[in-house]
Each structure stands twice: as structure tokens, then as C-alpha cells.
Amino acid sequence: MKPITVAYLGLLDSDRATGTRRAEEHLTRLAQAVAARSGYGWTIEIISAGLEAATHSVSAGVLRTILPIVGKPRTPWDAVSWRLPEALARADLVHLHDGFSRLGEAALLIAKQSHQPICITEYGLNGHWLSSELGLTELADVVICHCPALAGRLQSTRPVEVVPAKFDVAALGLPAAWPSPNCLPLRAEQPANYDYHAAGAGLYAIYQRLLNQTMEMAA
């Protein structure tokens, strides 16, 4: 059986604005939990665009890829890379962890056009014009919420799955109004009591269902 690759995008641009590694650490731990749940049969590739392009192995089943950035983006969240289509072509499933970065939007465009299964994590944020104006979560195959109450409130025609966790995305850095290159005031603490093991198990189950559905449809 072909090994599965899941591409993770989003949140990482915030690290450039906050000067921390909070987003990277969060996604890495999440990816490690999913990889572990797959018995290390799956690879989770965490992708962003940056000045120093490279790919390296973080741990068993987790790759970190930085794609070469195009031009000079005005804010950290405007970064994009022409190598993104090539990177996404390796993925069996794409999970976008934010709705406010251009790399995520470009990934959504590319992955959807190729009928790759897509998950989008929804945090219930307001004010991110492109996502809300275009209703981009409607392009997801599954919308993932950490908060059951938010999942209940979401007006989406797409399936919504809950991976319960106490998670505050503002602790990783949310973009201030464009074209500010800064974050909104950063919460001092990392997400508390976030159970990566449970979240990884939840995500793994969702991914597996989605991949199975995709295979059935292709057949």
C-alpha cells in the first residue's frame, strides 16, 4: 500500500511576526501525534514559504519543508511560493490550519483543483476578508473545529468534525489588520492542556475516513 502523505499548511507565518516558534512547535507536535497514531506509516509534511528553502526530517514521519518565497510579501501572511504546486503534488491530503495566509489560500486553490481531499481548521475568527468573503471553508471536504460550540454555530454545508481540545489560536499569533506586518497582541501562554495525543488520534481518524471516501469515489 502506498504510504500516505499529509501536507500541513498555515499558522507558521505567524512565527515570523511574533519572533517565536509557537506555531511551528504546535504543528510539529500535532504532526508527531498523527504520525505516531499511523504507526509511523504516514508522513506529515509541514510546509511554509521562507527565505531559506530546505526540507529536513523533524522526527519519525514528520518532515519540515520551507519553500522559496516569491517576491517581497508585504506581511508575513502574504508569503507564497511557486514551488507550492510541486510540494502539494506529493500529498494525499491537505490540511490547512488557518484561513488567513496566502500560502494557505494558494494551497486551497491548487489542492481543490486537483480534487485532493482538504481539511480546514476553523477557529471562528472574524475579519479575515478573503476567507469570509469567498466562503473558503465551503471548499473543504471536512471542516475541523476544536470547540463543539463553534461547530454547532458554523453555517457550513460541509461536514464539520470536532476534535475537542482547549486551544487558543491567538496564543500563536493572529495577523493585525493588513498591511500591518505585526500580530495582534499575543497571549502570553501557549495553549494550555492541549492534548496532542488525543488531537492526533482524532485527526488521524478523520483523515482516514476522508482518504477512504476519496478512494471509493475514484473507484
Partner 1 sequence: MRILVLSNLYPPDFIGGYELCCRQIVDGLLARGHEVQVLTSSPRSPCESPDHVWRSFDLVNCYDAYEVLRSLPLTRDVRDGKSVWANAHNVYVLIDALKRFDPDVVYLWNLFGLGGLGLVGCLQYLAVPWVWYLGDCVPLMLCRRGAEVLPVLAEEFGRRVRGSYMPVSQRVVDEIEATGVRLSGQVETLPNWVLGDTPPSRERYYRPGEKLRIVSAGQMGRHKGIHLLIEAAALLRERGHENFSIDLYGKVNDTSIADLPRALDVERHVAFHGLCSQEELVAHYERHEYDVFAFPTWEREPFGCAPLEAAAYGCVIVMTQSCGIGEWLVHDVHCLKAPRTAAALADVFAGIMRGDIDLGPIGRRASAVIWRDFHLDALMPRIEAALARAARQPRGPVGRPDDAYRLARLAEKLAKAIIHEDYVETQAA
- Quick check: 73 binds partner 1 (CB under 8 A)? yes
CB 165 within 8 A of CB 136: no
Q: Which residues contact 211 (CB under 8 A, 6 or more apart)?
A: 4, 92, 93, 117
Q: Which stretch binds partner 1 (CB under 8 A): 13-21, 83-91, 165-173, 185-193?
A: 83-91
106 or 142: CB nearest partner 1? 106
d(CA 46, CA 38): 16
Query: Across the beta sheet with 142-145, what order do the strands follow?
Result: 54-59, 62-68, 43-50, 5-9, 93-96, 118-122, 142-145, 160-162
Q: Which residue stretch of 25-33, 61-69, 107-115, 197-205 sits at the interface with partner 1 (rule: CB under 8 A)?
A: 107-115
217 counts as binding partner 1 under rule CB under 8 A: yes
Angle between helices 196-218 and 22-37 (to 10 degrees): 60
Q: Does 155 bind partner 1 (CB under 8 A)?
A: no
> Residue 1 or residue 218: which is nearer to partner 1 going by CB?
218
Candidates 106, 160, 199, 206; binder of partner 1 (CB under 8 A) is 106
Smallest distance from partner 1 to CB 84, Å: 8
Q: Residue 140: exposed, middle, or buried by beta-carbon count in 10 A (0-12, 13-18, 19+)?
A: buried
Minimum Å gap between C-beta 115 and partner 1 is 4
Residue type, 202: G
- Check binding of 68 to partner 1 (CB under 8 A): no
Place of cell 475514484: 218
**The residue to which cell 471548499 is assigned:** 139
Q: DSSP secondary-structure letter at 190?
A: P
| Residues of span 132-151 touching partner 1 by CB under 8 A | 134-136, 138-139
Q: Are 45 and 87 in contact (CB under 8 A)?
A: yes
Residue 183: DSSP 8-state = B
Does residue 127 touch partner 1 according to CB under 8 A? no
Nearer to partner 1, 2 or 72 (CB): 72
Q: How many residues bind partner 1 (CB under 8 A)?
A: 30
Binding part of the chain for partner 1, among 23-31, 69-77, 90-98, 120-128 by CB under 8 A, reads 69-77
The answer to the question of residue 115 lying near partner 1 (CB under 8 A) is yes
Query: Can you tell me whether residue 43 is helix, strand or coil?
Result: strand
Interface residue list for partner 1 (CB under 8 A): 70-74, 78, 80, 82-83, 85-86, 89, 102, 105-106, 108-110, 112-115, 130, 134-136, 138-139, 217-218
